[in-house]
Structure 1
Amino acid sequence: MIPLYSLYTDAATQPQSGLSAGGILLIHNHQQTQHGVTLTATTNHLAEFEVATIAFTQLAHDLGAACATTTVLFYTDSQIVSQSLDKRYAKHYQAQVDALLAAQRPFQLVLTQWVPEKQNMGAHTLANQALHAREDVK
């Protein structure tokens, strides 16, 4: 049986401060792993690419050689990320698209699905919690 992971990511950015954070929700064998991460991006689009790249990089690190036989169902509520991955191109974000595609390369198969925000609430909540934690520290 091919290992199957469901990966949800979302980013949150505070436009006034330029602070960003991300949420990563990973589901495998009915077990959830949740992470809130600090991002360097200062805009939401950049943050969406960054959190997705971090999520795939971390998963590849955790799985090691098993990536070669792993399928990832990737869910994002970012239309720019979803559309850019489908086209393998983004006019203003090509470096970010290339980095994300490189992070996905170790996996046997990655299927990207755009979902409305209400279907991405786990990652959305994690991103907002991480962003609020950053703002409280500032």
Structure 2
Amino acid sequence: MQLYTDAATTPQTNQSAAGILLIDQGQQHQYKQVLPDSDNHTAEFLAAIAGFKILLDSYGPDQVVFFYTDSQVVAESVDKAYSKHFAVELATLLHLQDQCQVVVTQWIAESENHGAHQLAQQGLHLKN
């Protein structure tokens, strides 16, 4: 199972949205959703949380997941299991990941996260 997440935030208004791309046995499932207004780093955590909630709701626990994010803050926080500024969001994300059999988190460049990025951009327009 592959999970790609990304967030988009409009800096002037802090409107945020998530793009979530789940790939299961070669089949893509695309999701976009409005997030609470927030800064971009918080939105990246919220997008990851939303992605894991969808994965767990759709496929149940005990999945082997390759999780891809273009947020270095999210990737490093998960790797260290520590975040000074996003402790609550990280704790929620780690709790969801703990329900999976294995989670391999990998930071990828924004250019490699195009699918989730496009979905997040589309999600911003859901608010209007």
TM bucket normalised to smaller: over 0.9
The alpha-carbon deviation at position 133 of structure 1 amounts to 3.2
Tell me which of 36, 40, 63 is aligned to 2:59.
63
Identity over aligned residues, as a percent? Answer: 48
Using the size of structure 1 for normalisation, the TM-score is 0.90
Cross-structure match for 1:52: 48
Structure exhibiting the larger radius of gyration computed from Cα positions = 1
Cross-structure match for 1:8: 4
Residue 25 of structure 2 aligns with an amino acid whose one-letter code is N
- The reply to whether residue 124 of structure 1 matches residue 117 of structure 2 is yes
Cross-structure match for 2:108: 115
- The reply to whether residue 32 of structure 1 matches residue 25 of structure 2 is no
Cross-structure match for 2:66: 73
Aligned-residue CA RMSD (Å) = 0.9
Distance of 1:45 and 1:19 partners within structure 2: 13
SS where residue 133 of structure 1 aligns?
coil
Using the size of structure 2 for normalisation, the TM-score is 0.96
Residue 67 of structure 2 aligns with an amino acid whose one-letter code is F
**Closer, same or farther in 2 for the Cα pair 1:41/1:17, shift >3 Å?**
closer
| Structure with a larger share of its residues in helix | 1
With 27-36 and 124-133 compared, the bigger mean Cα shift is at 124-133
Deviation by residue 1:32-71 (Cα, 9 ceiling, x = unmatched): 000011001410000000010011012111122xx22x20
Structure 1 runs of 4+ with >4 Å offset:
none
Matched-pair contact (CA < 8 Å) for 1:41–1:50: no
Mind listing any 5+ residue stretches in structure 2 that lack a counterpart? none
Mind listing any 5+ residue stretches in structure 1 that lack a counterpart? none
Distance of 1:41 and 1:79 partners within structure 2: 21
The alpha-carbon deviation at position 7 of structure 1 amounts to 0.4
- The reply to whether residue 83 of structure 1 matches residue 76 of structure 2 is yes
